[in-house]
Structure 1
Amino acid sequence: MSDLTPDRTADPTGSAGVESKGGDRAQYGMCAGLAGLGVLLLVDAARLAPVQSSNDALGPKPVPIVLGVLLLVVALFYAIDIWRGGVGAAEEGEDVDLSAGSDFKTVGLLVVVFGVGAALIAPLGWVIAGSLLFWGCAFALGNRHHIRGLAIGVAISLITFYAFAIGLGVNLPAGILDGIL
């Protein structure tokens, strides 16, 4: 299969084939997508009902408003950069063997681990299901230190369980460990 990517190695700026003013018009689609997402966030934030709570003076509106404005600003700066002729640097290369096939065994194992983890959260609780999820993902990705992987999974699950409970006030399911945790 032939590579149709233009060779930009001779041009140190990486702007071969790009007009100096007006830029690469195909990248304006990304600008439009960013701007559209920003407008969507702002419209949805405007439709949020005001919260009448003494515990939360700000309510849920500030985060989507800030993110929407930031997305619009990034889209504007990106469009200006494209119009001035700016292009991203061409990739120098990666440690990826493009001739190698897909590893469907690993992908399949990860799908099974995530499915089993999702099914076990309610009956066993987050700490046990999360520990098995982290250990299973590590195993699928090639870790063969089973005890250490499981210990790290337990530690991460306990940390996230208490971070959600204490830090955010969100109770994750305790499952069979209810009353112990």
Structure 2
Amino acid sequence: MPSNNPTSVSATVGDRLRFQRGSGLRGIAKALIMPGVLVAFAVYLLVGIVTMRVPANAAFPGPQFFPGIIAAGLFLFAGILAVGAVRGALVTPTADEEQTGDRAVRVDWRSFAWVAGSFLVFAFVLGILGWIVAAALLFAGIARGFGQRRMLFALLVGLTISSLSYIAFDMGLGLSLPSGILGWSF
């Protein structure tokens, strides 16, 4: 069954997709939304890294290392996306490019809202619900954003993955994740 979601596999397999381009400043502004979101999240991470209290005896790589890599990657991807967005908005397709059979797609804002909203909810409820429940809800929300209709199935898969990652981090690596309302300790 074909999906209306242009990001789903059934919509993209075998097709060449191109985003519909706006013209002028409005097209550039729309194309720069995602790079702007990435920069905002990277700045948020950077502020957290800078204001983080790190014990003097923390060894390398330390608690700031991996968030720093993620922030640098987000800045890099935002730059690449911004350059591509500006180039794509300024360059008009030739007649040959128009006739290649590429299917024009638009951003599915409902899917975007599910994914972005899931991350926001996860950030706010992690301390209350704990890792297992919050990560399961995050997984189910993102799965819904990518076209999954069976929410109970997505939630069960999310619970399985979040439980396994909790066990791996807490018991295997000795790094504690928030337990929240479950409140148990092993």
Q: Give TM class, smaller chain.
A: 0.3 to 0.5
Q: Which has the higher contact order (CA 8 A, sep 6+)?
A: 2
Q: Which structure is larger by alpha-carbon Rg, 1 or 2?
A: 1
Q: Normalised by the size of structure 1, how large is the TM-score?
A: 0.46
Q: Normalised by the size of structure 2, how large is the TM-score?
A: 0.45
